[in-house]
Homo-oligomer: A and B are copies of this chain.
């Protein structure tokens, strides 16, 4: 029901342990770090504060047997960040799971979409106001 769902289809949150889960936010952040080479740039690209991005990275690093993101300190550039092999592996594994879920759940997705109101946008707006 939240606004801002850009991709239609099933979104996964993989709960691995009582307080360890990998979801779209974590994986988008990992991929943005791989792309930008920086935690702060990656956070900014997702409209996330540096503090929040940094905390997410610290938690992910602590939850797995070795870090998913490594940072390099120093220099005028303020260092950078990149994914470790484990970080790349976990991001890729999550995307595979997402694709597999989308594939096997397509019949039910189709059925649910057929139950939607025809004028979803308008009705949603008036229900929210």
The complex places the Cα of A118 from the Cα of B17 at a distance, in Å, of 11
Which positions 1-36 of chain A face chain B at CB distance < 8 Å?
1-5, 7-23, 26
A101 at the interface (CB under 8 A from B): yes
Contact of A90 among B15, B19, B115 (CB under 8 A): B115
A72 at the interface (CB under 8 A from B): no
The complex places the Cα of A65 from the Cα of B127 at a distance, in Å, of 14
Known contacts: A19-B120, A117-B65. The answer to whether A109 contacts B13 by CB under 8 A is no
B117 and A63 contact, CB distance less than 8 A: yes
B127 and A62 contact, CB distance less than 8 A: yes
Contacts of A55 in B (CB 8 A): 127-128
